[in-house]
Chain A
Amino acid sequence: MIDVRDLRVTFGHGADAVAAVQGVSFAVREGESFGLVGESGSGKSTVLRAVVGLNHDWTGAIAVAGAAQSRRREKGFFKSCQMVFQDPYGSLHPRHTIDRILAEPIAIHGLRDADARIDRVLRDVGLGPQFRFRYPHQLSGGQRQRVAIARALVLEPRVLLLDEPTSALDVSVQAEILNLLKRLRAEHALTYVLVSHNLAVVATMCDRLAVMNRGRIVEEMDVEALRRGAAREDYTRQLLRASQGYDRAAADSFKDFA
């Protein structure tokens, strides 16, 4: 469904150039849920933004749903591939009602029966029609993230790119959103790419994952191996250890991986 070959993204020019992504390749099958894990600055979000067309300056090859992508995306691309952002406080227009937020993609793509679509998608994400004419500030963080998911789903895409969808939420709300995403994937046969720094979230949500560090994929593994803690690379092992709570001895043994 998604095929990324030797993706490179560089920001800046000359001496100030930062190679954020340095030759990343991975493939995601249809219906699969794929995790991208790494610490801040590892390039995981940059990869996602390049796939969805928000970063223009990349080299390599990106194919989504069998179609090779150029730097600029066709309008039709966004009917098959949508993104959900990390911060539900920043990603919804504060002066647009939920109705307007959801109606915009429908209008852009010239689809009909907007009314029925909005109604259906709101029910789909567990918000009733009573939320339709509210403003984002009237909703809680979890509800806003549901709206962001609804906006991504309203075009009935086949691929959903999720950039840290729950890291701004409380754990009890995180559980609700993760459950929702799991249910939606099953119901709509969606393909997910989930970016997260939280290994436990990836273990719950994904079938396979890639661990990134400093713009490169360090290791690809399936979720069974992650659960067993069977990492091949030292970097992954250190990440696993650090996610398992505070441990004085482990903290002293940590090193930097270039």
Chain B
Amino acid sequence: MSDKPLLEVENLRISFPTRTGVTQAVRGVSFTVGREKLGIVGESGSGKSMTGRAILRLVPPPGIVTADRLSFQGEDLLTLPEKRLRGIRGRRISMVMQDPKFSLNPVMTIGAQIAEAYRVHSSAGTAEAKRRALEMLEAVRIRNPERVYGLYPHEVSGGMGQRIMIAMMLIPNPDLLIADEPTSALDVTVQMQVLAIMDELCSSRGMGMIFVSHDLNLVASFCDRILIMYAGRVVETCRASELHAATHPYTRGLLDSLPRLDDTRAELPVLARDPSWLEDISPSPVQGEGRGEGDVGGPVRSAMAGPPHPNPLPRGERGHGPAEGGR
């Protein structure tokens, strides 16, 4: 791990103006990423994916992103002109999305898509791009790269599609990879194999990685460090190996509510949400920079319409349960 972090995020806020007031999706998140695997865990609506997207300025309109600092290797990602940003997005920071079905171009062959990703970011010719694309397919353990090169996305399985996406994201040789639930659509054994590929590429290339996931156990076993997010805030930060010793009641609640293989509990403990978690600032800002913590909280409230919202969690995306069950 180098001493200078790749990415520094300080007091990141993302809000969406809606007809009924401003929804705060991310409310003052700070962290740094070095050449390591950082996990961001949380339930749907916790703001974990939006945090990942904000780094590449991919928050969809009308979302508003503000931060005291959002810099990648010294460059300010918030004010960088779009043209310069394109030199970073995809090339130095790339992002693997959750579902290959919706992220691959259905009318382009796999090989053409990967080669295109390479040619956009380098001055290589067609033959060189093809050679590199085949190499990359091999690196993500696709057995017959020549055959897969000519296939269309609907002709490959989910696990292979995910590996293809990883190949495409890694071909420009980025410094930082943002992986948003890269394996949650996969079977457990395939998931392990895909993670092993990413792990190996991380360690062999010295790449940094942000791994966004809802799966606590997976993140604990895969990452080096973990941020736990709740309702747009980081409630706890810990080393992955120490997740089981987490202290925040939300983290504890999540861990307890997971069914386990050796479970003999008659009933799973249900998470009782404490409204104070919405206000609490993460007790330990990452890297221990003593930020003034009083500034967060007050202005947020006044910006929200009306009295404290009964359920301030932003709506989850379709396909995931918004983080509340009927009681």
Using a CB–CB cutoff of 8 Å, the interface residues on chain A facing chain B are 39-40, 87-89, 125-127, 131, 139-146, 168-179, 182, 197-201, 203-205, 226-227, 229, 238-240, 242-248, 250-252, 254
CB distance from B266 to the nearest CB of A (A): 8
CB-based contact A252/B270 at 8 Å = no
Give B residues with C-beta under 8 Å from A.
43-44, 158, 187-193, 195-196, 199, 214, 216-218, 220-222, 253-254, 257-271, 316, 318-327
Q: A171-B216, A200-B260 are in contact. Are A254 and B189 (CB under 8 A)?
A: yes
Q: List 15 A-B contacts (CB under 8 A).
A: A40-B158, A139-B326, A140-B325, A141-B44, A143-B324, A144-B321, A146-B326, A170-B321, A172-B43, A179-B268, A197-B187, A200-B259, A240-B261, A250-B192, A251-B192
Contact present for A203 and B262 (CB under 8 Å): yes
Do B192 and A171 touch (CB < 8 A)?
no
Known contacts A203-B259, A244-B261, A248-B199; is-contact A172 B188 (Cβ 8 Å): no
Interface pair A248/B323, CB less than 8 Å apart: no
B267 touches A243 (CB 8 A): no
Q: Which residue of B lies closest to A198 (CB)?
A: B259
- Known contacts: A39-B188, A141-B316. The answer to whether A246 contacts B323 by CB under 8 A is no
By beta carbon, the residue of chain B nearest A201 is: B259
Chain A CB within 10 A, most for which of B268, B319, B327: B268
Q: How far is the CA of A127 from the CA of B324 in the complex (A)?
A: 13
B44 neighbours in A (Cβ, 8 Å): 141, 170
Q: What total of A-B pairs shows CB separation below 8 Å?
A: 153
Nearest-neighbor residue (CB-CB) of A242 within chain B: B188
Instruction: Please indicate the chain B residues that have their CB under 8 angstroms from the CB of A177 in the complex.
Output: 325
The residue from A125, A169, A204 contacting B259, defined by CB atoms under 8 A apart: A204
Min CB–CB distance B310 → chain A (angstroms) = 12
**Do most interface residues of chain B lie in helix, strand or loop, or is the interface mixed?**
loop
- Shortest C-beta distance, B21 to chain A (Å), equals 18
Q: Are the C-beta atoms of A251 and B43 separated by less than 8 Å?
A: no
Kindly name the residue among B188, B191, B218, B326 whose own CB sees the greatest number of chain A CB atoms within 10 A. B326
Are B259's CB and A172's CB within 8 A?
no
Question: Given that A201-B259, A203-B262, A239-B188 are known contacts, is A172 also in contact with B323, CB under 8 Å in the complex?
Answer: yes
Query: When chains A and B are docked, how far (Å) is the Cα of A179 from the Cα of B269?
Result: 9
Q: Are A248 and B196 interface neighbours, CB within 8 A?
A: yes
Asked if B187 and A39 sit within 8 Å, CB to CB, the answer is yes
Contacts of A144 in B (CB 8 A): 321
Q: Which residue of B lies closest to A257 (CB)?
A: B189
Closest Cβ of chain B to A77, distance in Å, is: 30
Q: Which residues of B contact A204 (CB under 8 A)?
A: 259-260, 263, 265, 268
- Chain B residues in 8 Å Cβ range of A244: 217, 261
Q: Report B213 CB to chain A, min CB distance, Å.
A: 11
Given A170-B43, A178-B268, A197-B188, A140 and B324 touching (CB < 8 A)?
yes
Contacts of A170 in B (CB 8 A): 43-44, 214, 320-321, 323
Tell me the complex Cα distance, A87–B214, Å. 18
